[in-house]
A and B are shown apart, each in its own frame.
Chain A
Amino acid sequence: GAVVSQHPSRVICKSGTSVKIECRSLDFQATTMFWYRQFPKKSLMLMATSNEGSKATYEQGVEKDKFLINHASLTLSTLTVTSAHPEDSSFYICSAMTTNTGELFFGEGSRLTVL
């Protein structure tokens, strides 16, 4: 099956710094990718829809200047958490949609810890 890879899987940073998380579709092209956030023992909350070559669509309540999304190619979307604070600590998961079947494949997730 199709594989989606996230990097890094874990990152620890200091408060005030920015962190970039990559989401790659390894063996298929994805015009659409999604970014989710998951708090401990909570559901996945959709943050934004990333479309290749255009601006991301953010869900209500998600700060677009805080969570910068770039989808510059058909196989890569990046999420940058700018000026991170401890409350941004979370598990971030991406998914990529195949262009032919519309099926979603998920990355393994990236755990961000902001000190």
Chain B
Amino acid sequence: AQRVTQPEKLLSVFKGAPVELKCNYSYSGSPELFWYVQYSRQRLQLLLRHISRESIKGFTADLNKGETSFHLKKPFAQEEDSAMYYCALSDGGGGNKLTFGTGTQLKVEL
């Protein structure tokens, strides 16, 4: 069974500080990993996916198959980054059936 673990429920950083939101997964096959973000009073939206290997809003995430991790990083946090972040895994079967982590609330303080 696939599983996504986000160990931190809340992460509080100061503006300009580096951010790392942790995500670990367990899956026997070749997963596709995603990060979704939910800003206050808004719907869930895709932030980035590992196959794209792109940086969105300054965020990057590298899939580490050895450590089964997909941590989300940003070198300098901005106040507008405050949101709920969900790591998600798809079995890659093309059906896009997602397994979500429990989410991490990022709070960027001035």
Are A and B subunits of one complex? yes
CB atoms of B100 and A43 under 8 A apart: yes
B100 touches A44 (CB 8 A): yes
Q: Determine if A43 and B97 form an interchain contact, defined as CB atoms under 8 angstroms apart.
A: no
- Does B86 belong to the interface (CB within 8 Å)? yes
Stretch at the interface among B22-30, B38-46, B59-67: B38-46
A32 touches B98 (CB 8 A): no
Say whether B98 contacts A104, CB under 8 Å: yes
Closest residue of chain A to B41, judged by CB?
Answer: A108
Q: Which residues of B contact A61 (CB under 8 A)?
A: none
How far is B95's CA from A102's CA once the two chains are assembled, in angstroms? 8
A46 contacts B by Cβ under 8 Å:
yes
**Residues of chain B with a CB closer than 8 A to A95's CB:** 44
A32 and B45: CB pair below 8 A? no
**Which chain B residues border A46 with CB–CB below 8 Å?**
97-99
Per-residue interface assignment for chain B, residues 85 to 101, with 1 indicating a CB less than 8 Å from any chain A CB and 0 otherwise? 01000000011111111
* In the complex with contacts A43-B86, A43-B100, A43-B101, A107-B95 CB distance below 8 A: no
Give the dominant DSSP class at A's interface. Answer: strand
Closest to B105 in A: A41
- Minimum Cβ distance to chain B for residue A45 (Å): 8
B102 interface residue per 8 A CB criterion: yes
Residue of A nearest to B44 (CB): A106
Q: Which residues of A are found within 8 Å of B100, using beta-carbon distances? A: 36, 43-45
Answer whether residue A103 sits at the interface, using C-beta atoms and an 8 A cutoff. yes
Are B96 and A104 within 8 A (Cβ)? yes
Q: Does A97 contact B (CB under 8 A)?
A: yes
Binding site for A on B (CB under 8 A): 9, 36, 42-46, 86, 94-103
A residues adjacent to B (C-beta < 8 A): 4, 32, 34, 36, 41-46, 49, 93, 95, 97, 102-109
